[in-house]
Structure 1
């Protein structure tokens, strides 16, 4: 891309997952533009390695829970103002906001109001198809293009009157090789006793809500004569919470710590018992049939069930367009209901085969095998830059 001066790109990512996306995008843009690009904005360690000096440490915004947000609200609002002010002062050629819409969209609205000539790209489509559908139309006022990680999202945005939206692919597409077994791992997947993944959640609050019912379900499954080897993958910062939670379990799982051990467990697992959510898509891409369960506090669950507009809370089901993975919510998430469902996916049953047949369609649905999501994201950023320059 010819340019008389370096292109300046302002990026805003406030969570670790967004930082990974931002770093990948920066890397591709640097490959395309070489020295003819400059980066400014907010990001984490990954974006720092690609040359970004963040306005502030994003760890300041790692806040969970309503009361915690309330206490930190003045700081959050100040950071929103500071980020928008910095973006306007930088006069970038483009603003790329990455996920975290409660923060990044407030920044984008301020920038659009005061510097309307700066094009804005939203990397990770807000889930307007699940919550607050009116956001889609409102976004047209300050977002020029949305980059979607899920294949059904562009049609959802069109239907809701949102800004232009393009499916670029989920980040898991770049990780397929680490999720699927080689020949030796497939042999272990087919061997006895089968490996059963136990995935109670990736946050302490989720672990707290799920540990008792997960432990009791495994006990009932074992009492009914089902053989299995339980493996519980977790991250280092959750290890103490997991160990505390399984202390009273009669069936003790092997704990796999860290991303590498987790992926290794996925490659040999025959089935999974998972908290409903994003991990279900990871399991589906790995070819691991599963049962989903979800429990939460009464207020949180009431809000979710009142506002949700989706036929399932299991991401794998939403991408497939059919509810092939059984899900047990709140009062239905009991050992008496979960144990038979788990038996069905551990053994060779029609339920298990139906899931495997559905998962085999994911490569086509998600366009796995084409260019990387990061490359496609960079294509749209550069195309938007060209249009803005020519306009």
Structure 2
């Protein structure tokens, strides 16, 4: 009975990991699957998956350093588990800070099974030289962006483009709704530290937008009830109790289709918003130390994947010091009041999304994994 050990460490990785697991088990119901992931992977694979994503999914250098002891312990335990269980293959799902180290250490300790990476780490953005090391320790890269295949294969790493899973998911969530004129959607992220930094700016921007567009309405997407509670506390602290009525829980995809315009925290949600055709601005702000370090290693102009794919500025990026309540309000007012700007942005988004494949991404990725086995 083939045995796969799968490692994911974030909410998005849990989603992709579960999609892959379901297709793998559809191809071979006898497949044994264990590893690290989240609730969706546990649901898909059963008790062999250890749910750790709520703790593991932190963002930022400083935030990770504060948890160094935890991650070191988890790292050692994970490597030991793989070496003891000797699975036929290890599948690493995104989460490069942890997963690439695991791959390197497994090879150093003599693991001879296949190591497959699914959802490419964005080394093309920060450390291109690392690809040579990846080519030595990995057997296969399965990427979800079309340009990545050529990038990795130049370094001798066998690579397959499976298509982006977002294409499939969006089709199941699409509604035939008309966008609501004057509705601004706020998407401050799915992590506590993101919400703490971005939501106060969104609250201040809301007041500034109202000064120019008195009839504007707002809605806020909270990833879960805990974050919704945090947002309500922040609205009270800002003496803006009305904002508590804007908060919705678990309606992110609906709001992306209802809102006329929006602001989306950098990350997976920006691609989701693009797939739904939401005219939006990307917002991003982290700890100053984290940002300073990132600037020394990032090799590309843009951080938004839509702009990276397009190789030009399609979506406005309001980043770090460039993100203030005034700059955010100005961008929202422009999108609200300028129909030509909105329409052009939606057309550009559709053009970029069309490069991501025609669906069936998880099935193609699973077939690739099984072919390696």
Q: TM-score, normalised by structure 1?
A: 0.85
Given that residues 62 and 290 in structure 2 are in contact (C-alpha distance below 8 angstroms), is that contact kept between their aligned partners in structure 1? no
Given that residues 215 and 249 in structure 1 are in contact (C-alpha distance below 8 angstroms), is that contact kept between their aligned partners in structure 2? no
SS in 2 for 1:120: strand
Partner residue in 2 for 1:209: 197
1:207 Cα deviation after fit: 2.1
Matched, 1:256 2:248: yes
Partner residue in 2 for 1:197: 185
Partner residue in 1 for 2:213: 225
Q: How many residues align?
A: 368
Q: 2:171 aligns with which of 164, 174, 177?
A: 177
Q: Structure 1 pair 105/343, CA: closer, same or farther in 2 (3 Å)? A: same
Superposed, 1:97-136 pairs within 5 Å as: 97-136=92-131
1:122 Cα deviation after fit: 0.7
Point out the structure with max Rg over C-alpha.
1
1:22 Cα deviation after fit: 2.4
Partner residue in 2 for 1:237: 226
1:70 Cα deviation after fit: 4.5
1:305 Cα deviation after fit: 2.5
Q: Gaps (5+ residues) in structure 1?
A: 1-5, 386-391
Superposed, 1:1-391 pairs within 5 Å as: 6-35=1-30, 37-54=31-48, 56-58=50-52, 61-62=55-56, 64=58, 69-70=64-65, 72-159=67-154, 161=155, 163-182=157-176, 185-186=177-178, 189=179, 191-192=180-181, 194-225=182-213, 227-235=215-223, 236-247=225-236, 248=238, 252=243, 254-258=246-250, 261-367=251-357, 369-370=358-359, 372-385=360-373
Given that residues 232 and 255 in structure 1 are in contact (C-alpha distance below 8 angstroms), is that contact kept between their aligned partners in structure 2? yes
How far apart, CA to CA, are the structure 1 residues paired with 2:53 and 2:314? Answer: 38
1:249 Cα deviation after fit: 6.0
Given that residues 62 and 287 in structure 2 are in contact (C-alpha distance below 8 angstroms), is that contact kept between their aligned partners in structure 1? no
SS in 2 for 1:231: strand
Task: Name the Cα RMSD after superposition.
Answer: 2.5
Given that residues 127 and 297 in structure 2 are in contact (C-alpha distance below 8 angstroms), is that contact kept between their aligned partners in structure 1? yes
Structure of higher RCO (CA pairs closer than 8 Å, 6+ residues apart)? 2
How far apart, CA to CA, are the structure 2 residues paired with 1:249 and 1:196? Answer: 20
CA offset digits 1:295-317 (Å, max 9, x no partner): 33322222232322222122222
Q: Structure 1 pair 59/154, CA: closer, same or farther in 2 (3 Å)? A: closer
Q: TM-score, normalised by structure 2?
A: 0.89
How far apart, CA to CA, are the structure 2 residues paired with 1:293 and 1:351? Answer: 19
1:166 Cα deviation after fit: 2.1
Q: Structure 1 pair 48/158, CA: closer, same or farther in 2 (3 Å)? A: same
